[in-house]
Amino acid sequence: MTRPRHIAVIDVGKTNAKLVVVDAESGVELAVRSTPNRVVSNGPYPHYDVDVLWHFFLNSLTEFAETPGFDAISVTAHGAAAALLGENGLAMPVIDYEHIYPDAVRQDYAQLRPDFAETGSPYLAGGLNVGAQIHYQKTQFPALFAGVKTVLTYAQYWVWRLTGTAVNEVTSLGCHTDLWNPRDGEYSSLVDKLELRPLLPPVRSAFDHIGDLLAPLTTQIGINRPVPVFCGIHDSNASLLPHLMTRTSPFSVVSTGTWVVLFAVGGHLDQLDQQRDTLANVDAYGKAVPSARFMGGREFDLLTGGNAVAPDAETLERVIRDQVMILPGFAKGTGPYPNRAANWPNGEPGNPAERTAAASLYAAMMTAISLELIGSAGATIIEGPFSRNALYLSALRNLTQREVMSLPGSTGTSLGAALLAGATIPAPTNTGNVQPLDAAFDTYAKAWRDHLA
């Protein structure tokens, strides 16, 4: 197969979905279209509107077929999702992982799921464990589940729609699903407890060419040549991949979006705390990586009301001096403080710039705590929206006392997925040496930790 010139990336995030065309030679994004990833409530349970996304992807591929053009397709998608196929498409809707199950269902699942020592996967809220999703679907909707013939990881669902070939992939299986044993590199004992083994297609490498775009789709899009489609990858692992290819351990990558997902390459797998949302993710090469998560992007939006206003120096000085701070957490059941209720210990500000300052400092402190929990060392690389938040970066520099590097491209996920199809890693475009805040912030940070103690 010849190396593609341009690679189209289907990038399905929890909040938004994108179609990105990446130049294979430079790794630069040439064209982008984005749409909200809607959750709809009709049907048996809240679920993603995959048909709307599918039409968006096809329309975007058609729009980009000539300019800038593309010669291959790769896929990346958020974790905690699985597609249950029947004879002719979905047998059941793709469930929203934030849907909360009845207590009796959760209690039954808790008795089934493997120990943390087997999977490196903590027991999470709602459907954040894919095993919990499938248990819920199987036990609460048995007539629908009886029609399930194939269970696919989410990125590979889109590969199936593009190629007609069903496969699974290890980064999506290894992201807190309860279905994967990262130590042995095989399915966990839960697969047989849920009687899923006959429904699971072969596991393929994220780098594999799975097949070519189906002929009816090439006709619809307006392309008269074969278009190879690659296996695809879990989105946070896509952000990690370029660094695995170019950096030497130890280092950490912080992928920011709706979730802040942290990877400590060279960190401590034997010190993970399942009660504090630390876990073992599995990278594109099948290796377990100490990881942590908190819903930082969602919390930042809630704290700022979606109206972030960068604070000026006087506002920031006032926020730090008066210890205007938020304590975790807004996203119950997740992050390093999963059982705490958020509060403003010194009063809640009404000024948008003060709220943004407090939210930025909060995100930095939650990041620093999470990095400590997974044994982070070396440089910390920030990707996604928080890479453009100067206050967050400076606070994190104080808190870790290590180099903090910002990669302010729109997202690392699209580039990581494009690498699977042969793209080149671009030269680093970090913002240089992040400057720490002054000593007054150190007092602020100590007070924040003291509140939690």
Full DSSP string of 140-156: H-HHHHTT--EEEEHHH
Alpha carbons within 13 angstroms on the beta-carbon side of residue 388 total 11
What pLDDT is stored for residue 411 in this prediction?
Answer: 58
Of the pLDDT bands very low, low, confident and very high (cuts 50, 70, 90), residue 138 is: very high
pLDDT of 162 > 80? The answer is yes
Q: How far apart are CA 348 and CA 354, in angstroms?
A: 9
E-assigned strand segments in 93-154: 150-153
- Give the model's confidence band at 433: pLDDT under 50 very low, under 70 low, under 90 confident, else very high: low
What is the model's pLDDT at position 430? 52
> CA nearest 116: which of 333, 285, 275?
275
pLDDT at 407 over 90: no
Query: Does pLDDT of 412 surpass 80?
Result: no
Among all chains, which residue has been given the structure tokens 């990707």? 383
For the chain, percent of residues with pLDDT exceeding 70: 97
* Closest-CA residue to 261 (of 375, 428, 384, 153): 384
Rounded Cα–Cα distance for residues 191 and 188 (Å): 6
Q: Is 126 left (phi over 0), alpha (psi -120 to 50) or beta?
A: left
Average pLDDT over residues 405-409: 76
pLDDT of residue 409: 59
Q: How far is CA 34 from CA 211, 428, 433, in A?
A: 25, 25, 32
Residue range 205-258, pLDDT digits in tens: 999 999 999 999 999 999 999 999 999 999 989 989 999 999 999 999 998 988
